[in-house]
Structures are given as C-alpha cells and as structure tokens.
Amino acid sequence: MKRIVFLIVALFLVFVGFYIYASDGKITYSAEKGKFVLPFGKTYNYTDILVKRVVDGDTLLLENGERVRLIGIDTPEMHESEKLYRDSQRSGQSRSIIQRLGRRSYQFTRSLVEGKRVSLEFDVEKHDRYDRLLAYVYLKDGTFVNAKIVEEGYASLMTIPPNVRYADLFLKLYQEAREKRRGLWE
C-alpha cells in the first residue's frame, strides 16, 4: 500500500513539475468557458510568431499548429462547404464565382502574411467554437493585417460581439473600398 501511495505522489509531483516548467505555471480564467484553465504544454509568445501558411482569406496557420481566425472580417469561401452553399443562396451568385473571389482574397492575404512573423492582439474572446484563436494580426512593420485586407477590398465585415474593438474602423475602410471599387469590388 505504501508503494502505491508513493507512486501516486511521485507521479503527481512529476506532473506538477512538468506543468510548471512547460507553461510557466500560469493559471487563467476563461470567461467564455466560465472556468479556470490550467494550460498544459508550452505557451507561445504571440507577439512574435511565424505565419506558416494561409488557409484562406481570413484564416492563418501558425508555426505552433494553431489556427487564427481574423476578427471582424469575412472573405468569400474558396472550398466546398455549407457556408459556400449558404452564401450562394443568400447572394444569388454562383458557387464558382464565390470560390473565384475567395481565391483572390486568399492570394492577397497570402502575399501579405505567409512566411512572416506577426503579433496577435486578442479581444474579449480568445477562441471561437472551432477552437481557433480569434485575433487582430499585425506585421512587424506595424501593418494591421485585418484592416489592410478590408481596406484593399478583399473582405466584408463580420462583427460578432463581444469582439468589436475595431468595428468602426473596419466599417469605414469597407465603405471606402466599395466606393473606390478596390479588390473584389472592381
């Protein structure tokens, strides 16, 4: 019996030691999940992280394997999905036209951030229901990626409270892009 208790205590101490080493011992409160979160594994410096790949016009894959959904913007779908079908029905445009626009948005975002180091800024909620990070993204030269995509006409607006920090800016940039027929609006 003493050996079992010793083994359990030893395993517990190893786990606690590994946790403190791997995550700097940070315990956070997640408002969206309504509970304390004890992160397991390495924490990342989101002020200097590489964009490994652009998934689509508004989603990035980071070097640590996490996906980032850009807050406040929405680009056309380029892959077959339920959203593509809904967007087609809602807009009256064919799926192939939406996918072509989606590829243009993807190419713009890709040329802007793929292979570059960025910093992330979070709003109220840090993850969406698909467990993607929700973030505002900045290039090292200070370029605000979410805003640049809207400004150049490659995204529509998608404001989902409570993540609304830059909603007014995005609306202004969106209206200007449409008026000046930039990007997808030409």
Give the DSSP letter string of 93-149: --HHHHHHHHHHHHHHHHHHHTT-EEEEE--S-SB-TT--EEEEEEETT--BHHHHH
**Could you write out the DSSP letters of every residue in 70-96?**
ETEEE----S--HHHHHHHHHH---HH
* DSSP assigned state of 31: T
CB 158 within 8 A of CB 74: yes
CA angle 71, 74, 78 (to 5 degrees): 130
CA distance 151 to 87: 22
Indicate which residue of 66, 69, 104, 151 is catalytic. Answer: 69
- Residue among 119, 142, 121, 115 at smallest CA distance from 49: 119
Q: Which of 66, 77, 104, 151 is catalytic?
A: 77
Tokens of 42: 């390495």
**Active-site annotation holds for 132:** yes
Given the residues 90, 117, 129, 132, the one annotated as active site: 132
User: What is the distance between the alpha carbons of residues 159 and 67, in angstroms, rounded to a whole number?
Assistant: 19
Task: Give the catalytic positions in this structure.
Answer: 69, 77, 132
